[in-house]
C-alpha cells in the first residue's frame, strides 16, 4: 500500500482514480489509511465475498486473505489491465503507470524483451569491434 | 474466474473504511479506476 500511496499523484495525473480492497475490518483499514495518509478509499471485504467472486481468495493464510492483484477498470466496467501476483507480497505500480501512460505492453514480458535487445546489441557490437572484457 | 483483460469486471458494492458504501460501477463512472487487492494487516 505504501508504494501506491507514493504513486497516488502519478496515477491521478495519468487520468485514473484509485481504490484499494482487502478483507481487513474497517477499523484496521482506516488505521492503514490514516497511517499512510491515503486520500483514496479502502474497501472492506470482511465477508470475503468479492475476493471469492473475483477468484482472488487465498484461504490458506491468516484466516483467508486477498491475493495481491491490480486492475485498471474502464467506465464501461471492462478490465483494461490486470496483474496478479501469487508469489510476492504485492503488485508493483510500475506496470499500471506504464499502462495508464499509454504503453500497454504487459510488464511481465518487458525484462525478456529488454534482455534480448541487449544481447543482440552486445552481439552485433562484438562482431563489429571484437568482444571486450567488461571493465571493472 | 478472475476477469481478464477485455472481460467485464464483476461489479460489487462494499463499505469503505469510513463507512461509505461504494460500488465499482460508481467508482469508474468518471474515468478509469485502478483497483488494488492487497493482503491487509489482518
Count of structural domains, chain A: 1
pLDDT at A110 over 60: no
Per residue in A19-30, pLDDT (tens digit) is: 999 999 999 999
A77: left (phi over 0), alpha (psi -120 to 50) or beta: left
| Cβ–Cβ contact A57 with B under 8 A | no
Whether residue A130 is contained in a domain is answered as no
Chain B residues with at least one Cβ partner in A under 8 Å: 1-12, 14-20, 22, 24-25, 27-42
H or E element at residue A57: strand A57-58
Which residue range is the domain that position A69 belongs to? 2-104
**Average pLDDT across chain A, whole number:** 83
Percent of chain B with pLDDT over 90: 90
Cα gap B23→B26, rounded to integer Å = 5
Cα gap B28→A83, rounded to integer Å = 18
Q: What pTM does this model have?
A: 0.78
DSSP alpha helix (H) spans, chain A: 2-13, 26-35, 49-53, 94-100, 110-129
Whether residue A50 is contained in a domain is answered as yes
Q: Would you mind telling me the total number of residues written for chain B in this entry? A: 42
Mean pLDDT value across residues A103-121: 52
Any idea what the CATH number is for the domain that residue A22 is in? Answer: 3.40.30.10
Q: What is the DSSP letter of B16?
A: B
pLDDT value of residue A106: 46
**ipTM, 2 dp:** 0.96
Whether residue A122 is contained in a domain is answered as no
Amino acid at each position: 500500500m505504501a508504494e501506491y500511496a507514493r504513486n497516488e499523484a502519478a496515477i491521478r495525473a495519468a487520468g485514473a482514480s484509485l481504490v484499494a480492497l482487502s478483507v481487513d475490518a474497517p477499523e484496521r483499514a482506516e488505521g492503514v489509511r490514516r497511517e499512510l495518509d491515503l486520500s483514496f478509499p479502502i474497501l472492506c471485504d470482511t465477508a470475503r465475498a468479492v475476493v471469492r467472486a473475483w477468484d482472488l481468495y487465498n484461504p490458506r493464510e491468516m484466516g483467508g486473505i486477498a491475493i495481491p492483484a491490480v486492475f485498471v477498470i474502464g467506465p464501461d466496467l471492462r478490465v483494461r489491465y490486470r496483474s496478479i501476483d501469487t508469489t510476492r507480497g504485492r503488485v508493483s505500480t510500475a506496470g499500471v503507470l506504464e499502462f495508464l501512460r499509454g504503453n500497454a505492453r504487459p510488464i511481465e514480458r518487458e525484462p525478456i524483451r529488454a534482455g534480448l535487445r541487449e544481447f543482440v546489441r552486445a552481439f552485433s557490437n562484438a562482431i563489429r569491434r571484437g568482444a571486450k572484457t567488461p571493465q571493472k | 474466474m478472475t476477469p481478464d483483460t477485455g472481460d467485464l469486471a464483476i461489479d460489487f458494492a462494499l463499505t469503505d473504511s469510513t463507512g461509505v458504501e461504494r460500488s465499482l460501477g460508481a467508482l469508474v463512472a468518471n474515468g478509469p479506476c485502478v483497483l488494488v487487492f492487497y493482503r491487509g494487516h489482518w
